[in-house]
Amino acid sequence: MKELTSRIQKLKSSKIGKKVRGRIEEFEEVGRQGNKRWFSELSFCVLTANFTAKGGIKIQDRLGAEGFISLSQSALEEKLEELGHRFYRKRAEYIVENRKYSHKIKDIIREFSNPRRARKWLAENVKGIGFKEGSHFLRNVGYRDVMILDRHVLSVLDKWQIIDRVPKTLTKNRYLNIEKKTEDLAEKSDLSLGELDLYVWYMGCGKILK
């Protein structure tokens, strides 16, 4: 862990650190916006499951909050297929079903005393959202106390022996156990989990997205 911590510290003082800090500020700005903007971010996170962040960003930029909220399911399917989503039918179905939260998702999340309780609610109530996607959504609206354990992050954690191996499937208990292990790394790196995630994700794929 010491060598990995040293690597992260070097990144913090480089141009990558500046990009990470800028991205965190962007997430906090999203968090200050309203329910419609939060629903757009929730829909983005639904799209990224078994897809790519870059592809999700492209779709989100093209459709905007209004597209996620207003398009008919068939029109949304058509747009997602046109924009290259592999699972356009199922993701359109999820987004349409989730519209019942489009006018209150921020209000609901703000009622929770901590983000991990909010994540549990998301995983249990929102279509297409598990612990990974719930963490992604919360980080993207300004919460810093959750870790997004996608394949890039898990690969880096495995490489640096923070975990024994990359699990084939991430159950709730496995997710929480791995997240717990990253807390020590975050503390030693003087970072929140949300910040750490961006550095580790960069180490895994060479990009700082969202």
Q: Is position 124 within any domain?
A: yes
Contacts of 167 (CB under 8 A, 6+ apart): 154, 174, 178
Based on the structure, what is the number of domains in the chain?
2
**Number of C-beta neighbours around residue 10 at 10 A:** 11
Residue 148 has which token pair?
A: 């997004």
Domain boundary among 140, 157, 190: 140
Q: What are 90-135's pLDDT values in tens digits?
A: 999 999 999 999 999 999 999 999 999 999 999 999 999 999 999 9
Contact 141, 115 (CB under 8 A): no
Q: Is 90 a catalytic residue?
A: no
Contact 101, 65 (CB under 8 A): no
Contact 5, 156 (CB under 8 A): no
- One domain, residues 16 and 111: no
How far is it, in rounded angstroms, from Cα 24 to Cα 5?
20
- One domain, residues 37 and 125: yes
- One domain, residues 103 and 59: yes
How far is it, in rounded angstroms, from Cα 198 to Cα 158?
16
Domain boundary among 110, 140, 170: 140
- One domain, residues 91 and 160: no
Q: Is position 193 within any domain?
A: yes
- One domain, residues 62 and 99: yes
Residue 136, helix vs strand vs coil:
helix
- One domain, residues 74 and 116: yes
Query: Of 132, 172, 181, 210, which is the active-site residue?
Result: 132
Q: Which pTM does this prediction carry?
A: 0.95
Is the model's pLDDT at 1 over the cut of 90?
no
Domain boundary among 120, 140, 160: 140
How far is it, in rounded angstroms, from Cα 163 to Cα 177?
10
Q: What are 12-52's pLDDT values in tens digits?
A: 999 999 999 999 999 999 999 999 999 999 999 999 999 99
CA 94 to chain centre: 17
Query: What average pLDDT does the segment 81-93 reach?
Result: 97
- One domain, residues 52 and 110: yes
How far is it, in rounded angstroms, from Cα 67 to Cα 21?
30
Contact 143, 71 (CB under 8 A): no
How far is it, in rounded angstroms, from Cα 202 to Cα 188?
18
Q: Is 150 a catalytic residue?
A: yes
Mean pLDDT (the chain) is 95
Residue range of the domain that includes 174? 2-28+147-205
Q: Is position 210 within any domain?
A: no
Q: What are 52-73's pLDDT values in tens digits?
A: 989 999 999 999 999 999 999 9
Q: Is position 199 within any domain?
A: yes
Residue 89 has which token pair?
A: 């039918």
Contact 178, 200 (CB under 8 A): no
Query: Of 10, 12, 145, 150, which is the active-site residue?
Result: 150
Question: 72: domain CATH number?
Answer: 1.10.340.30
How far is it, in rounded angstroms, from Cα 15 to Cα 208?
11
- One domain, residues 16 and 88: no
Q: Is position 55 within any domain?
A: yes
Expressed in percent and rounded to 5, the helix, strand and coil fractions of the chain are 70, 0, 30
Q: Is position 153 within any domain?
A: yes
Question: 156: domain CATH number?
Answer: 1.10.1670.10
Nearest to 140 by CA among 17, 61, 38: 38
